[in-house]
Amino acid sequence: MTTLRQQFIAFSVTAGVLRFGDFVTKAGRNSPYFFNAGLFNDGARLGKLAEFYAQTMLDAGVEFDMLFGPAYKGITLASATAVALAAKGKNVPFAYNRKEAKDHGEGGTIVGAKLAGRVVIIDDVISAGTSVRESVHMIRDQGAQPCAVLIALDRMEKSGAEGALSALSAVQEVEQSFGIPVIAIANLNDLFSYLSEPGAQTELAQYKDAVAAYRQRYGVA
């Protein structure tokens, strides 16, 4: 793992955002870990999270002109990341959408800067890819170009229901469908490496085998 990835996994564990145990995912799978970005819920945690997003985007080397945050989690993530990018010397505008169009005032569904140029979509994770698909269509409808998706954690697991699993993950499906990269601060392999480190906390190291079995069953190449 890179230092940034190591730091992000450790930060997520300390913040209680990345937890280990027995959880049921949105797809109905029993998972030994759970990542809930909604728990980055105070100023210090959100600020630190935004720094990880910003640095990951800069390190990726993808040229971009602005950020877009799909409602609802993406709203906070895009605005906070814009602040973090400005602090790192790259000041870019950002926008987000409303779930329902506003029929008074400025109207419409897009709030913030006008969608233009190369746009990065920011979200926490990609589960079914629905949010990204909607965002891509909104951006293109405004004449702008989605150039990347930036997420916190790539679970790297096959999409679809039990018994009808796809060979691809939701992230890979997005990349293939829209021809844009999905950039993650960290992924399942990084999480497993964290648990496998010699200095891993005893209470966390006990979940290594469960995570390995989950990756073996649902993981993608």
- Report which of 3, 81, 86, 5 is spatially closest to residue 47, judged by C-alpha positions: 81
Q: What is the mean predicted confidence (pLDDT) over 191-212? A: 85
- Report which of 141, 117, 138, 124 is spatially closest to residue 64, judged by C-alpha positions: 117
The question of whether 137 is a catalytic residue gets the answer: no
Do residues 132 and 120 lie in contact, with contact meaning Cβ atoms separated by under 8 Å? Answer: no
- The pLDDT value recorded for residue 104 is 47
pTM score, whole prediction: 0.92
d(CA 50, CA 13): 16
d(CA 147, CA 175): 11
Strand partners for 151: 184
d(CA 97, CA 30): 33
Strand-strand pairing, 30-35 and 145-154:
unpaired
Residue 204 has pLDDT above 90, yes or no: no
Catalytic residue among 26, 48, 99, 104: 104
pLDDT single digits (tens) 93-151:
999 998 766 554 454 789 999 999 999 999 999 987 889 999 999 999 999 999 999 99
pLDDT single digits (tens) 44-100:
999 999 999 999 999 999 999 999 999 989 999 999 999 999 999 999 999 999 876
Comparing 162 with 155, which gets the higher pLDDT?
Answer: 155
Q: What is the mean predicted confidence (pLDDT) over 201-206? A: 77
Domains of the chain: residue spans and CATH: 3-218 (3.40.50.2020)
Catalytic residue among 88, 90, 102, 114: 102
